Structure 1
Amino acid sequence: MNIHFIAIGGAAMHNLALALHHKGETVTGSDDTIFDPSKTRLETYGLLPETFGWYPEKITKDLDAVILGMHAKEHNPELLRAQELGLNIYSYPEFLYESAKDKTRVVIGGSHGKTTITSMILHVMHYWDKEVDYMVGAQLEGFDTMVRMTADADFMILEGDEYLSSAIDRRPKFHLYKPNIALLSGIAWDHINVFPTFENYLEQFQIFVNSMTNGGAMVYNSEDEDVVQVVENATAHIKKYPYVTPEYTVQNGETLLQTPDGPMPIEIFGKHNLNNLAGAKWICQHMGVVEEDFYEAISTFKGASKRLEKIAENDKTVIYKDFAHSPSKVEATTIAVKEQFPERKLVACLELHTYSSLNPEFLNEYKGALDAAEVAVVFYSPHAVELKGLEAIDKKQIEEAFRRQDLIIYTNPLDFRTFLFGQELSDKSILLMSSGNYGGLDFEDLKGLM
């Protein structure tokens, strides 16, 4: 096939381009700008556009498919040309479904935990040399790309994102996959620029459950009331498999998972991650991995990239960074680090970076999210608020939203860096939560603090 990518430089898009290239397809693409690591990876395989920009002349009748990324707008010159020629235009998730419609599709959905659960499943499959196709939202240890597509694999594992598919396809991505096997990890309001009410957001998960194939298997977190409601209201004829957080203990900074053969040390920690593990175990069993083999494989799982990722550690201190930004995930991650190192003072830092987190109407969702930390810090950029076209917020609003009078708030990256690098680290845990980088913080520099 001849396939052209409009906006090839995105994290998901360039990985799909690489997967198709490895499969033997002819791949071309365009973008207005491309940054590393996408740029270097595309260049390595001869897929980097010679010049940046949009070139309608690249769009010809010889193309079998055009894949449109979220970064491309509805008036993109290449998109308009493709529409004019009547070519097959796919959003990213639409193309994934077309490629996997004859496979058993396993879709991992939920407001949080998707990447971690998908990563756990892939780790187990990789450990036992079971070949599967996949799409996951983070770069995984032992995997060259975030997407794998072959002709032979029986299963396609998909991380089911609820965000929109493309500029011309406003459906949430996970509505398009029609899973044979699915998982719902939890529901917590997010993406309020697209789903302005919780009811509207909840409805997207109901549509997802109802989109399952008849006779499909739904694995779901029965500790989440909204998940239970959605699954119980399913109109699709599906089999339902609830899961709960397994028993575990923490001893001297090590988490021990209770198994049929007794306590087993694992690399990950935190109640939310143990809950994720329980869901992953069910999915792996549906894919033919018995419980004993699952435990052997998962004991070596170190976590997904940017999910409670250890930056540095010595006998007295540990520093983690985490992708957490939604209120429920911020709270769960903060509690997890405190539980793992209860004798150490926890300094928890959160950057408000997403559209939702910087929205004054959404801020109150963060009530109590940092309560497990002895020292709680929030960083945000007033300029980012302005760029997103949002109403200005002030420090008083943030303090009231988190319900902490001792909350430390920074708006200047240099001031935040001075605070962080001025910490006396002995007997402390440092947790940095953000989908951004605190205005330019190089996390590698933190290793010099130890």
Structure 2
Amino acid sequence: MRIHFIAIGGSIMHNLAINLAEQGHQVTGSDDQIVEPSKSHLLAAGLLPKELGWFPEKLNEDIDAVILGMHAEVNNPELLRAKELAVKIYSFPEFVFEQSVDKIRVVIAGTYGKTTITSMVMHVLKKLGKSFDYLVGAQLEGFDDLLQLNPENKLIIIEGDEYFASSVDRQSKFLMYKPNIALISGVEWDHFKMLISEQDYYKQFEDFVRTIVPKGTLIYNKDDKRTRDVVEHTMDNKINRHGYKLPEYTINKGVTYVHVGQENIPLKIFGKHNLSNIAGAFTVCEWVGVKRDEFYAAIQDFKSSIRYLEFVASQNGSVVYQDFAHTPSKLRSSIHAVKEQFPNQALVTVIELNTYDSLDHQFIEQYANSMNESDFAVVFVNISLIKEKNISLGNFTESLTVAFNHPSFRVITQLSDLEVFLEDFKSNGYNLLFMSSNNNNGVNMSSFADKFLRNF
């Protein structure tokens, strides 16, 4: 096939383009901005466009298909040209489905947990020597690419998200895949981050359940009320339903053991979210033919998906972890997980809040008492990112202090001040948890860990 990519520089888009070229398809593409690592990957594959921009003349009657990325707007000149030519236009999830129509499609969805469960499933299958295709949204340890499509493979593992497929297709991506096996890890609406109403957000997951093929299987987190609601609202579907829940576990000398029958299986990860995710991953693997003993032998050395209670460094008995906090409940649960894992160590928690969200009193009020289980609480807001210059720093700090209501609390508004705080803090007897609702803007976690640990 001759396939043209509009917005080839996207993270998934450039991986798909390279994969299709490796299969022998003729691939071209355009974009008005291509950054690393996409640029280097496309250059190495011989697919980097010679010029940035949109060039309708690249499309002619010989093109068999166009794949449209999210970055391309509805008035994109190449998109308009493709419509004139009546070329088949795909979003990338639509194209992935077409390439996987004869495979067993496993789609893992949820507001949170889907990346971790997907990475657990892929880790186990790879360790057991199973062949499979995959599509994920973030770089996972042990996998070089975000996507693999091989016509010979009979199984594909897909991390399915609920966001729009493309600028011309406002369906959720996960509605495209029509899974044989689907998992929902949890459903949580956040009115500060969601672009649609709470009712519409939950309906997306109900619609997702209805895309499961007849006699297919829904695996769901029974511990999550909203997920149970989704299941109850879709009982008309003739599919299998298999709920999972938090397994029994113990912690001994900083190691978490999950109870499996009469055995206690040691893990390299910890925290109730991770343990719940293991239960979900096991259920998926069980449905694709993995035996229980095989799964738990393989999962023991699983470390973490990116930035989920991810180990950074340790020294003199103190440990540094980083994590992603997208809700106050996630902040609470991660603090609890570290305190539960290391009950004899005090904890310093630093959360980096989105700069503009932190100016919204309604947003901040959600975080009331959310850090109370931590022994020392720090809120970092990079005030230099705020363009407005008329903000009262005193009032800003006071509002955060009142909202969080923590006895050992500090607000830090400059990256340099955060570095000084970590350098001066006596880490003896303390662990550090750094959480962010952003992308760690300007934060070098290795450097931060070093500053914290060396002042023993």
Q: Same fold (TM over 0.5)?
A: yes
Q: What corresponds to 2:148 in structure 1?
A: 148
Q: Is the 8 A contact 2:308 2:322 kept in 1?
A: yes
Give the secondary-structure state (helix, strand or coil) at the position aligned to 1:236.
coil
Relative to structure 1, the CA distance from residue 91 to residue 190 in structure 2 (aligned partners, 3 Å threshold; closer, same or farther) is farther
Q: Which amino acid aligns with 1:72?
A: A
Aligned CA-pair RMSD:
2.5
CA shift, 1:295, in A, is 0.6
Q: What corresponds to 1:433 in structure 2?
A: 435
| Residues 127-136 or 199-208, more deviating | 199-208
Q: Give the Cα separation in 2 of the matches to 1:100 and 1:355.
A: 42
CA shift, 1:118, in A, is 0.3
Relative to structure 1, the CA distance from residue 408 to residue 20 in structure 2 (aligned partners, 3 Å threshold; closer, same or farther) is farther
Q: How does 1:11-410 map to 2 (within 5 A)?
A: 11-190=11-190, 192=192, 194-234=194-234, 235-353=236-354, 361-381=362-382, 394-404=396-406, 406-410=408-412
Structure 1 residues not aligned, in runs of 5+: none
Task: Output one character per residue of 1:314-338: Cα deviation in whole Å (capped at 9) or x when no partner.
Answer: 2321112223323333222222122
CA shift, 1:186, in A, is 0.8
Task: Output one character per residue of 1:68-88: Cα deviation in whole Å (capped at 9) or x when no partner.
Answer: 222222222222222222222
Q: Give the Cα separation in 2 of the matches to 1:84 and 1:396.
A: 58
Q: Give the Cα separation in 2 of the matches to 1:358 and 1:297.
A: 46
Q: Is the 8 A contact 1:219 1:243 kept in 2?
A: yes
Aligned residue pair count:
446
Q: Give the Cα separation in 1 of the matches to 2:347 and 2:116.
A: 23
Q: Is the 8 A contact 2:384 2:414 kept in 1?
A: no
Q: Give the Cα separation in 2 of the matches to 1:60 and 1:396.
A: 62
1:411 matches 2:421 = no
Q: Give the Cα separation in 1 of the matches to 2:174 and 2:63.
A: 26
Give the secondary-structure state (helix, strand or coil) at the position aligned to 1:121.
helix
Q: What corresponds to 1:422 in structure 2?
A: 424
Give the secondary-structure state (helix, strand or coil) at the position aligned to 1:20.
helix
Task: Output one character per residue of 1:236-288: Cα deviation in whole Å (capped at 9) or x when no partner.
Answer: 21111111111111111111111224111111111110000001001000000
CA shift, 1:401, in A, is 4.7
Q: Give the Cα separation in 2 of the matches to 1:80 and 1:401.
A: 50
CA shift, 1:386, in A, is 6.3
CA shift, 1:397, in A, is 4.7
Could you state the TM-score of these two structures normalised by the residue count of structure 2? 0.90
Q: Give the Cα separation in 2 of the matches to 1:154 and 1:355.
A: 46
Task: Output one character per residue of 1:27-70: Cα deviation in whole Å (capped at 9) or x when no partner.
Answer: 22222222222222222222222232222222333222222222
**Structure 1 vs Structure 2: percent identity of aligned residues?**
45
Q: Is the 8 A contact 2:69 2:166 kept in 1?
A: yes
Q: Give the Cα separation in 2 of the matches to 1:105 and 1:356.
A: 38
Q: Give the Cα separation in 2 of the matches to 1:171 and 1:402.
A: 38
Q: Give the Cα separation in 1 of the matches to 2:281 and 2:370.
A: 26
Task: Output one character per residue of 1:163-200: Cα deviation in whole Å (capped at 9) or x when no partner.
Answer: 22222212221122111111111111137554443223
Q: Is the 8 A contact 2:375 2:408 kept in 1?
A: no
Q: Give the Cα separation in 1 of the matches to 2:247 and 2:432.
A: 27
Q: Which amino acid aligns with 1:431?
A: L
Give the secondary-structure state (helix, strand or coil) at the position aligned to 1:32.
coil
Q: Give the Cα separation in 1 of the matches to 2:122 and 2:357.
A: 30
CA shift, 1:361, in A, is 4.6
Selected match of 2:447 from 440, 445, 449: 445
Q: Which amino acid aligns with 1:25?
A: H
Q: Give the Cα separation in 1 of the matches to 2:303 and 2:61.
A: 47
Relative to structure 1, the CA distance from residue 12 to residue 396 in structure 2 (aligned partners, 3 Å threshold; closer, same or farther) is farther
Q: Give the Cα separation in 2 of the matches to 1:348 and 1:440.
A: 18
Q: Give the Cα separation in 2 of the matches to 1:145 and 1:191.
A: 33
Q: Give the Cα separation in 2 of the matches to 1:357 and 1:229.
A: 31
Q: Is the 8 A contact 1:270 1:333 kept in 2?
A: yes
Q: Give the Cα separation in 2 of the matches to 1:178 and 1:103.
A: 11
| Residues 348-357 or 201-210, more deviating | 348-357
Relative to structure 1, the CA distance from residue 399 to residue 184 in structure 2 (aligned partners, 3 Å threshold; closer, same or farther) is farther
Give the secondary-structure state (helix, strand or coil) at the position aligned to 1:34.
coil
CA shift, 1:294, in A, is 0.6
CA shift, 1:357, in A, is 7.6
Q: Give the Cα separation in 2 of the matches to 1:60 and 1:373.
A: 61
Could you state the TM-score of these two structures normalised by the residue count of structure 1? 0.91
Q: Give the Cα separation in 2 of the matches to 1:195 and 1:76.
A: 23
Relative to structure 1, the CA distance from residue 271 to residue 76 in structure 2 (aligned partners, 3 Å threshold; closer, same or farther) is same
Give the secondary-structure state (helix, strand or coil) at the position aligned to 1:346.
strand
